[in-house]
Amino acid sequence: MAQATANRNNARRDFYDRIGGLSMAPLWEQLHQLVPPSPAPKYQAAHWDYDKVRPFLMESGSLITAKEAVRRVLILENPALPGSACITPTLYAGLQLILPGEVAPSHRHTQSALRFIVEGEGAYTAVDGERTLMREGDFVITPTWTWHDHGNESAKPMVWLDGLDIPIVAMFNASFAENGESDEQAITAPEGTSDAKFASGLLPVDWKPERQTSPIFNYPYSRTREALAGLAKAGPPDPCHGYKLRYVNPASGGAPIATMGTFMQLLPRGFATAPYRSTDGTVFSVVEGEGESRIGERTFRWKRRDHFVVPSWATVVHSAASESVLFSFSDRPIQERLDLWREDRGSH
Ligand code: GTQ
C-alpha cells in the first residue's frame, strides 16, 4: 500500500517536472490556495506610533532636501511585505515632510494620491493651476495625471499621510510619470476657486466632469468635524462604526478618487465598536483622542497622529478611551465596482 502511494507520488512528480518544461503546472496541487473559501491575506495588522516615527521624519529633513528627494517620504511598509513599499497589497502609504521654505517640485503621474494632514498648518498643494492651503485633518486630492507640487511657506514643518494606488497601477502596468518644466506650476486660478465651484452643494451650470475624481481637492477638517458633531447629536451611533461618514465626489455621489475610498468616524468616549470585518484592507490615521483597536488576535493602543492598518477580513474592534476621530482609506470603491466588496457586521 505504502509502495503504491510512493509510486503514484513519484509518477506525479515526474509528470509535473515534464510539464514544467512547457511552462505548465497542475491546478489540483494549488486549487485551495488559489480559490480559498474566505480571504487569506498574506499581510498583517501593524501600528506606527507617531512619537517613535516623528524623530526619524525630522532626521530625514537634515539628510536630504525635499527638492533633491522630489518627495521626502518615509514609507509605511507592511511588516509582512518587506521590500514591497506596500502597506496592503493594493495600497501605498507614507509620511511626507516639508520643511519651511521648501518646495516638492511639480510632477504628474497616473497614480492617484490623497494627502491627509497630520501635523502643521499653512503649507500648500497646487493642482491644476490652483493652490490650496492645508491644515491638520484636511483631506486633499491629487487626481490621476494632474500636475502637482507642494510648498511650505509657513514657519513650521508640515507632515502628511500620502495614500496612493501605486500597487494597483503597477498590477496593470499602467504607470506613466513626467517631471514639470519648473519646480512650481503656474497658478491660473485664485485660491478657493474649486471650493466656490464645487463644494457648496452647487455645480457650475454647464460643467461636465472630465474624470471620475472629485473636482473638490481639499475637504477641510473644520467642515468634516462639524458634520460628525452634528451626526452625533442627531441619533445613536452605528454599533460597528460609531458615527462614520464617507467622503464623496459631489458630481457622482461616488468616492472622491476612483481607486481609493476615504472615511472619517467619530467614536464617543467609552464607546467600543461591535466586531466587524470587511474585504477592504484599511489604513487608519488617528486625528483626535486615544484608544485601542483589537485587530484579529492583536491589540494596538493608539493616540493622535498614530497610524495603523487592518487587513482584509480581519475582525476589528475599536475602543475609544476619550472621544476619538479616525480617518481611514481603502480600496473599497474598486471592490464595489467589481462586485467583490463584502462586510460582516456579526449579528448587527
Ligand atoms: O506627492 O506625488 O508618497 O509621487 C509617493 C509618490 C508621494 C507625490 C508619495 C508620489 C508622491
Query: Is 280's C-beta closer than 6 angstroms to any atom of ligand 1?
Result: no
- Per-residue pLDDT at 347 exceeds 80: no
Question: What Cα–Cα distance (Å) separates residue 245 from each residue in 94, 204, 225, 301?
Answer: 23, 25, 10, 23
CA of 90 to the centre of ligand 1 (A): 16
- Ligand 1 pocket mutation, candidates 87, 124, 141, 162, criterion most atoms within 8 A of CB: 162
Q: Please, what's the largest Cα pairwise distance for the chain?
A: 83
Please list, in sequence order, all residues whose beta carbon lies within 8 angstroms of the beta carbon of residue 339, skipping any fewer than 6 positions away. Answer: none
Asked if residues 132 and 216 have their Cβ atoms less than 8 Å apart, the reply is no
Per residue in 95-136, pLDDT (tens digit) is: 999 999 999 999 999 999 999 999 999 999 999 899 999 999
* pTM for the model: 0.97
Determine if ligand 1 sits within 6 Å of the CB of residue 71. yes
> What backbone phi and psi angles, to 5 degrees, belong to 234?
-85, -15
Residue 305 · residue 343 · CB < 8 Å: no
Q: What is the pLDDT of residue 153?
A: 93
- 249 falls in which pLDDT band (50, 70, 90)? very high
- What's the rounded mean pLDDT across residues 15-35? 97
Which of 71, 74, 145, 146 gets mutated to test ligand 1 (max ligand atoms within 8 A of its CB)? 71
User: In the CATH hierarchy, which top-level class contains the domain 46-344?
Assistant: mainly beta
Band of the pLDDT at 348, cuts 50, 70, 90? low
| pLDDT (mean) for 239-248 | 98
* Segments making up each domain of the chain, as ranges: 46-344
How many helices, marked H, and strands, marked E, lie in the chain? 8, 22
Side chain identity, residue 36 = P
